[in-house]
Amino acid sequence: MSVTAAAGFVAAGVHCGVKADPDALDLALVATDDAVAVTAAAVFTTNRAPAAPVEVSRGHLSATGGRAAAVVLNSGNANAATGSSGRQHAEHTCALVAEALGCAPEEVLVCSTGLIGIPLAIDAVAAGVPPLAGARSAAPAAAAAAATAILTTDTVAKQVLVSRPGFTIGGMAKGAAMLAPDMATMLAVLTTDAAVGPSDLASALGAAVAQSFNVLTVDGATSTNDTVIVLASGRGDAPSGTVFRDALAEACAGLAAQMADDAEGATKVVTIRVRGAASPDDARRAARKVADSQLVKCSLYGADPYWGRIISELGSAGVTFDPDLVSVAYGGVVVCAGGVAAVHDGAAVSAHMGQRWVEIVADLGLGSGEATLLTNDLTPGYIDENMRTS
């Protein structure tokens, strides 16, 4: 269950000194086992203050026509809001990795995550690249080290494995807060041995992100560094139809669910489903309004099925809405029907609200539009983590 599960890939994770803790891994590598560039695709943050690594990786993918031999990632520093020197540091990191592996600098993609507005400790990164390259391996332990080295406020590493006849997809990700489209801070690197062309790989990744990371919101904040990268070695079969797209979507959904489950301070992972909307876009907007509501999140933390707050958010979402048609259910138990309280099994609702995973379904009663978002409750733990620079 790792980013090296697919044929043709190696990984590594080491401590280089970006993080002060000498026991904390903070530099990771995912690369082809022969340092030869393969088909690659990426989706980046839509934040208009993109970090230097985002700008550099975009440029490298454009220069190579969608090919890459390696991805290098550091944690502990986002290298964001660092100006021209930040871009120079990102390019220098790629050049160092390219020299160590024996590929071209533009065939290396770079990611960073951590504190914003603080210069990257480039000397520490430079010192860490040789041992990082030397440690690369296809072994699960090496992949686990890479998945650990990209963590910031995460409490656990996040890995995924999806197997289909003839090909495999493996991946790793980090993310515990600032998770909001487009995308849901997060980084993800996926690898596959499927034989997939550049345009098909990019299309499949875009669709997978739309169904996974882009339907995850922890706090409504979009990071400067969000990046999802997929590399395809082509050493397996060429999947037909939608087999590969479905498998990649499953892998991304698995990583997104792990991020939601590890969100900062969260005690609940909440699925918000909106049905019966006048259009799919209305459903998405309504679901996001509920998912991002601090009042709803506080109720979830208190395990209080206060459906009135949900009705209020739906009514203010700017979508077609009729309060006399809406219904709300917690864990399949309808608590509101026709816009008013419904007789229901309170014990069943309380039992559902006490679980780690909670589902809320709102039916607007207007059409066939549907949307689903994944979110969390708002807790004192989240405030403790974010009331200072972290």
Question: pLDDT higher for 10 or 178?
Answer: 10
> Is residue 325 domain-shared with residue 223, that is, in the same domain?
no
DSSP 183: B
44 part of a folded domain: yes
What's the pLDDT at 216? 76
C-alpha closest to that of 112 among 94, 136, 98:
94
188 and 304 assigned to the same domain: no
- Strand 227-232 relative to strand 186-192: parallel, antiparallel, unpaired? parallel
Tell me which residue of 297, 288, 295 sits closest to 268, measured CA to CA: 297
Helices (H), the chain: 52-64, 83-101, 122-134, 140-149, 198-211, 243-261, 280-291, 294-301, 307-315, 346-353, 380-386
Indicate which residue of 93, 185, 191, 271 is catalytic.
185
Together in a domain, 246 and 295: no
DSSP designation for 16? -
Contact indicator for 190, 252 with CB cutoff of 8 Å = yes
Within a domain: residue 352?
A: yes
Give a yes or no: residue 368 inside a domain. Answer: yes
CA-based nearest residue to 382, from 220, 230, 156: 220
Answer whether residue 193 shows pLDDT above 80.
yes
Q: Provide mean pLDDT across the span 209-216.
A: 84
pLDDT digits (tens, 9 = 90+) for 97-146: 999 999 999 999 999 999 899 999 999 999 999 999 999 999 999 999 99
At residue 131, the 3 state secondary structure works out as helix
Q: For residue 232, how many C-alpha atoms fall within 13 Å in the half-sphere facing its CB?
A: 25
Phi, psi of 26 (to 5 degrees): -145, 10
pLDDT score recorded for residue 179:
41
Q: Are residue 49 and residue 20 in the same domain, yes or no?
A: yes
Q: Report the chain's mean pLDDT, rounded to a whole number.
A: 91
Q: Is residue 3 part of a domain?
A: no
Strand 167-175 relative to strand 186-192, pairing: antiparallel
148 and 48: one domain? yes
> Can you read off the two tokens belonging to residue 42?
């990426």
Q: What is the pLDDT of residue 182?
A: 45
The pLDDT-based confidence of 5 (bands split at 50, 70, 90) is very high
Provide the CA 266 distance to its chain's centre, in angstroms.
16
H helix and E strand count, the chain: 11, 16
Q: Examine the domain organization and report whether 249 and 335 are in the same domain.
A: no
Closest alpha carbon to 219 in 178, 267, 270, 260: 178
- One domain, residues 241 and 299: no
Q: What pLDDT does residue 180 have?
A: 45
Highest-confidence range of 5-14, 146-155, 368-377, by mean pLDDT?
5-14
pLDDT in tens, 21-35: 999 999 999 999 999
Establish whether 372 is a catalytic residue: no
Residues contacting residue 347 through CB under 8 Å, at least 6 positions apart: none
pLDDT digits (tens, 9 = 90+) for 56-111: 999 999 999 999 999 999 999 999 999 999 999 999 999 999 999 999 999 999 99
User: pLDDT band for position 389 (50/70/90)?
Assistant: low
350 is a domain residue: yes
pLDDT category at 14 given cuts 50, 70, 90 is very high
SS3 191: strand
Asked which of 196, 227, 261 is the last residue of a domain, the reply is 261
Between CA 26 and CA 79 the distance in angstroms is 14
Which are the contacts of 79, defined by CB distance < 8 A and separation ≥ 6? 51, 52, 53, 86, 89, 90, 112, 120
Q: How many CB atoms lie within 10 A of CB 316?
A: 12
Same domain, 73 and 202: yes
- Domain-embedded: residue 72: yes
* 165 and 32 housed in the same domain: yes
Per DSSP, the three-state class of 63 is: helix
Domain assignment of residue 373, yes or no: yes
Our CA dihedral for 70, 57, 42, 111, rounded to 10 degrees, sits at 70
Alpha-carbon distances of 279 from 76, 129, 213, rounded to whole Å = 42, 50, 22
Q: Considering 210, 231, 261, which residue would you say is the last residue of a domain?
A: 261
CA 6 to chain centre: 20
CATH number at residue 308: 3.10.20.340
CA distance 321 to 76: 45
The count of domains in the chain is: 2
pLDDT band at 177 (very low <50, low <70, confident <90, very high): very low
Within this chain, do residues 188 and 335 fall inside the same structural domain, yes or no? no
Instruction: Let me know if residue 2 belongs to a domain.
Output: no
Decide which of 261, 293, 328 is a domain's last residue: 261
> Rounded to 5 degrees, what are φ and ψ at 386?
-110, 5
Q: Residue 278 belongs to what domain range?
A: 269-386
Q: pLDDT tens, 244-271?
A: 999 999 999 999 888 888 776 678 889 9
Return the CATH number at 257.
Answer: 3.60.70.12
326 shares a domain with 256 = no
Q: State the helix-helix crossing angle for 307-315 and 294-301, rounded to 10 degrees.
A: 160
The answer on 286 and 207 residing in a single domain is: no
- Maximal CA-CA distance, the chain: 69
Q: Are strands 340-341 and 70-77 parallel, antiparallel or unpaired?
A: unpaired
